[in-house]
Protein backbone atom coordinates (compact mmCIF):
# COMPACT_ATOMS: atom_id res chain seq x y z
CA UNK A 1 0.00 0.00 0.00
CA UNK A 2 1.09 3.52 -0.72
CA UNK A 3 0.13 6.65 1.22
CA UNK A 4 -2.67 7.57 -1.22
CA UNK A 5 -4.22 4.10 -0.78
CA UNK A 6 -4.53 4.37 3.01
CA UNK A 7 -4.93 8.10 3.62
CA UNK A 8 -5.43 11.49 2.04
CA UNK A 9 -7.47 10.92 -1.13
CA UNK A 10 -7.96 7.17 -0.45
CA UNK A 11 -7.57 6.19 -4.11
CA UNK A 12 -6.59 2.59 -4.91
CA UNK A 13 -5.72 2.04 -8.55
CA UNK A 14 -5.65 -1.38 -10.20
CA UNK A 15 -3.42 -2.41 -13.12
CA UNK A 16 -4.83 -1.16 -16.43
CA UNK A 17 -4.44 -4.47 -18.31
CA UNK A 18 -6.40 -6.27 -15.57
CA UNK A 19 -9.17 -3.64 -15.61
CA UNK A 20 -9.41 -3.67 -19.40
CA UNK A 21 -9.68 -7.46 -19.47
CA UNK A 22 -12.01 -8.16 -16.55
CA UNK A 23 -13.82 -5.04 -15.32
CA UNK A 24 -16.42 -2.79 -16.98
CA UNK A 25 -15.51 0.59 -18.41
CA UNK A 26 -18.38 2.21 -16.48
CA UNK A 27 -18.58 3.05 -12.77
CA UNK A 28 -20.03 0.21 -10.68
CA UNK A 29 -20.26 -0.89 -7.07
CA UNK A 30 -17.99 -3.84 -6.22
CA UNK A 31 -18.11 -6.15 -3.21
CA UNK A 32 -14.86 -6.85 -1.36
CA UNK A 33 -14.81 -9.92 0.91
CA UNK A 34 -12.00 -10.25 3.47
CA UNK A 35 -10.53 -13.35 5.15
CA UNK A 36 -13.30 -13.28 7.78
CA UNK A 37 -16.02 -13.18 5.09
CA UNK A 38 -16.84 -9.58 6.03
CA UNK A 39 -18.14 -7.71 2.99
CA UNK A 40 -17.56 -4.10 2.00
CA UNK A 41 -19.11 -2.24 -0.91
CA UNK A 42 -16.75 0.09 -2.78
CA UNK A 43 -17.09 2.25 -5.86
CA UNK A 44 -15.02 1.21 -8.88
CA UNK A 45 -14.36 4.04 -11.32
CA UNK A 46 -11.55 4.90 -13.70
CA UNK A 47 -9.57 1.71 -13.07
CA UNK A 48 -9.62 1.87 -9.30
CA UNK A 49 -11.45 2.11 -5.99
CA UNK A 50 -12.18 5.47 -4.41
CA UNK A 51 -14.61 7.31 -2.19
CA UNK A 52 -16.19 6.56 1.16
CA UNK A 53 -16.41 2.79 0.55
CA UNK A 54 -12.68 2.37 -0.09
CA UNK A 55 -11.84 4.72 2.79
CA UNK A 56 -14.08 2.64 5.11
CA UNK A 57 -12.45 -0.63 3.92
CA UNK A 58 -8.95 0.80 4.38
CA UNK A 59 -9.57 2.19 7.85
CA UNK A 60 -11.65 -0.73 9.16
CA UNK A 61 -8.87 -3.13 8.14
CA UNK A 62 -6.16 -0.85 9.59
CA UNK A 63 -4.23 -0.82 6.32
CA UNK A 64 -0.85 0.91 6.47
CA UNK A 65 1.86 1.86 4.02
CA UNK A 66 3.75 -1.32 3.17
CA UNK A 67 0.82 -3.72 3.53
CA UNK A 68 0.01 -5.72 0.39
CA UNK A 69 -3.37 -6.88 -0.91
CA UNK A 70 -4.20 -9.71 -3.27
CA UNK A 71 -7.51 -9.17 -5.07
CA UNK A 72 -9.09 -12.33 -6.44
CA UNK A 73 -11.98 -11.69 -8.83
CA UNK A 74 -14.44 -14.47 -7.98
CA UNK A 75 -17.49 -13.02 -9.76
CA UNK A 76 -17.81 -10.10 -12.20
CA UNK A 77 -18.34 -7.56 -9.37
CA UNK A 78 -16.89 -9.40 -6.37
CA UNK A 79 -13.31 -9.69 -5.09
CA UNK A 80 -11.94 -11.93 -2.35
CA UNK A 81 -9.22 -9.86 -0.64
CA UNK A 82 -6.16 -11.27 1.12
CA UNK A 83 -4.29 -8.80 3.33
CA UNK A 84 -0.56 -9.37 3.83
CA UNK A 85 0.64 -7.17 6.66
CA UNK A 86 3.89 -5.24 6.54
CA UNK A 87 4.19 -5.96 10.26
CA UNK A 88 2.87 -8.80 12.38
CA UNK A 89 1.30 -8.15 15.75
CA UNK A 90 4.69 -8.94 17.33
CA UNK A 91 6.33 -6.10 15.42
CA UNK A 92 8.35 -8.14 12.92
CA UNK A 93 8.10 -7.18 9.29
CA UNK A 94 7.72 -9.93 6.74
CA UNK A 95 10.05 -8.21 4.29
CA UNK A 96 7.26 -8.32 1.71
CA UNK A 97 7.05 -5.15 -0.36
CA UNK A 98 8.94 -2.97 2.10
CA UNK A 99 12.13 -2.35 0.15
CA UNK A 100 11.36 1.33 -0.45
CA UNK A 101 8.77 2.00 2.25
CA UNK A 102 9.23 4.49 5.07
CA UNK A 103 7.59 1.84 7.27
CA UNK A 104 10.81 -0.16 6.97
CA UNK A 105 12.52 2.25 9.38
CA UNK A 106 10.11 1.20 12.17
CA UNK A 107 11.45 -2.38 12.28
CA UNK A 108 12.31 -3.22 15.90
CA UNK A 109 14.50 -6.29 15.20
CA UNK A 110 16.88 -7.24 12.41
CA UNK A 111 15.28 -8.80 9.38
CA UNK A 112 17.30 -11.96 10.03
CA UNK A 113 15.12 -12.57 13.11
CA UNK A 114 12.04 -12.57 10.92
CA UNK A 115 13.33 -15.19 8.47
CA UNK A 116 11.73 -18.01 10.45
CA UNK A 117 8.42 -16.19 10.06
CA UNK A 118 8.77 -15.83 6.27
CA UNK A 119 6.72 -18.94 5.62
CA UNK A 120 3.67 -17.53 7.37
CA UNK A 121 0.25 -18.75 6.34
CA UNK A 122 -0.50 -15.36 4.72
CA UNK A 123 2.48 -15.66 2.39
CA UNK A 124 1.59 -19.29 1.69
CA UNK A 125 -1.98 -18.19 0.91
CA UNK A 126 -0.72 -15.48 -1.44
CA UNK A 127 1.50 -17.94 -3.27
CA UNK A 128 -1.46 -20.32 -3.60
CA UNK A 129 -3.69 -17.53 -4.95
CA UNK A 130 -1.03 -16.48 -7.46
CA UNK A 131 -0.54 -20.10 -8.56
CA UNK A 132 -4.30 -20.43 -9.04
CA UNK A 133 -4.20 -17.24 -11.11
CA UNK A 134 -1.48 -18.64 -13.36
CA UNK A 135 -3.57 -21.77 -13.90
CA UNK A 136 -6.75 -19.81 -14.61
CA UNK A 137 -4.89 -17.46 -16.96
CA UNK A 138 -3.74 -20.47 -18.93
CA UNK A 139 -7.37 -21.52 -19.35
CA UNK A 140 -8.43 -17.96 -20.29
CA UNK A 141 -12.05 -18.82 -19.70
CA UNK A 142 -14.70 -16.13 -19.43
CA UNK A 143 -17.19 -16.05 -16.57
CA UNK A 144 -19.57 -18.73 -17.74
CA UNK A 145 -21.63 -18.83 -14.55
CA UNK A 146 -21.39 -18.29 -10.81
CA UNK A 147 -20.17 -21.86 -10.27
CA UNK A 148 -17.14 -21.39 -12.53
CA UNK A 149 -14.01 -22.31 -10.59
CA UNK A 150 -11.74 -20.01 -12.61
CA UNK A 151 -10.83 -16.77 -10.89
CA UNK A 152 -8.92 -13.68 -11.90
CA UNK A 153 -6.30 -12.32 -9.52
CA UNK A 154 -4.66 -8.95 -9.15
CA UNK A 155 -1.93 -8.45 -6.54
CA UNK A 156 -1.37 -4.88 -5.40
CA UNK A 157 1.23 -3.44 -3.04
pLDDT the model gives residue 9: 81
> Domain range for residue 129?
3-156
Strands (E), the chain: 12-13, 28-33, 39-45, 48-50, 68-75, 78-84, 152-156
pLDDT digits (tens, 9 = 90+) for 97-108: 444 444 444 444
pLDDT of residue 125 exceeding 60: no
**Greater model confidence, 136 or 74:** 74
Distance of CA 58 to the CA centre of its chain: 11
Q: Using CB atoms within 10 Å of the CB of residue 149, give its burial: 0 to 12 exposed, 13 to 18 middle, 19+ buried.
A: exposed
Mean pLDDT of the chain: 70
Q: What is the DSSP letter of 91?
A: S
pLDDT the model gives residue 70: 92
Percent of all residues in the chain with a pLDDT value above 90, rounded to a whole number: 23
How far, in Å, CA of 127 to CA of 116, rounded? 17
Number of domains, the chain: 1
Q: What is the mean pLDDT of residues 66-79?
A: 92
pLDDT the model gives residue 123: 53
pLDDT of residue 118 exceeding 80: no
pLDDT the model gives residue 43: 92
CATH of the domain at 81: 2.40.330.10
pLDDT band at 90 (very low <50, low <70, confident <90, very high): low
pLDDT band at 80 (very low <50, low <70, confident <90, very high): very high
pLDDT the model gives residue 7: 82
Q: Which residues contact 48 (CB under 8 A, 6 or more apart)?
A: 11, 12, 13, 14
37 sits in the region (left: phi over 0; alpha: psi -120 to 50; else beta) called left
pLDDT of residue 88 exceeding 70: no
Amino acid sequence: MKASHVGGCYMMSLPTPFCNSYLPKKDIMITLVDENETTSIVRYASKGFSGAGWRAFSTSHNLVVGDALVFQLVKPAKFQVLIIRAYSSSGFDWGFGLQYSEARVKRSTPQVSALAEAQSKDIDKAEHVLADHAESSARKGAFADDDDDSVKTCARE
